[in-house]
Homo-oligomer: A and B are copies of this chain.
Amino acid sequence: MYTIQEVSQKVHVSTYSIRYYDDHGLLPTVKRDENNSRVFDDVDIEWVEIVTCLRATGMPLAKIKHYIELCLEGDQTVPERYRIMVEQQRETMAQAEKIQAHLRLINKKVDHYANVLINNKPDTLMPNKHLEKIYTQDY
């Protein structure tokens, strides 16, 4: 049994967000004690982790809610749940690739600035090197 604060520290999600998720029906099994305070058990923490995982990989809350409702409905919704997760898997892999592409550009910038700082020899690492007339200053 955990308080909202303990859950917050455990899963690295703010208490604000956890309350927001609960208020919007994304944590279907959270209980209350005699003072109306939220009481979480390990299953609730797993729900928070699932919501966090899906949110962090770009699923909107409305769709997460739909998925959770399917989970509560029973085995006959497994085919749709499977489709949702496969789609999320595909999109998450695409995201990972995009991040890698962004990281390559950032790496270039870091290398460029490092060069400027070390040898004080600004080399244009910008992609369109033929536009050098325009690149009068390093970015």
Chain A interface SS verdict (over half): helix
Contact pick for A42, options B81, B109, B134, CB 8 Å: B134
Contact B99–A103 (Cβ < 8 Å): no
Number of identical protomers: 2
Q: Does A9 contact B (CB under 8 A)?
A: no
Please choose the segment from A17-25, A32-40, A82-90 that sits at the chain B interface, where 4 or more of its residues have CB less than 8 A away: A82-90
Q: Does A62 contact B (CB under 8 A)?
A: no
A109, B119: Cα distance in complex, Å: 51
Contact B46–A82 (Cβ < 8 Å): no
Known A-B contacts A46-B126, A117-B82; A89 and B71 likewise in contact (beta carbons under 8 Å): no
Q: How far is the CB of A12 from chain B (nearest CB, A)?
A: 10
A43 contact set on B, CB distance < 8 A: 131, 134-135
- List 5 additional A-B contacts (Cβ < 8 Å) besides A92-B99, A99-B99: A53-B102, A75-B116, A75-B137, A81-B113, A92-B102
Q: Which residues of A contact B (CB under 8 A)?
A: 41-43, 46, 49-50, 53, 56-57, 71-72, 74-75, 78-79, 81-82, 85-86, 88-89, 92-93, 95-96, 98-100, 102-103, 105-107, 109-110, 113-114, 116-117, 122, 126-128, 131, 134-135, 137-139
Chosen A-B contacts, 6 in total, with CB atoms closer than 8 Å, are A43-B134, A53-B106, A56-B98, A88-B106, A96-B99, A96-B100
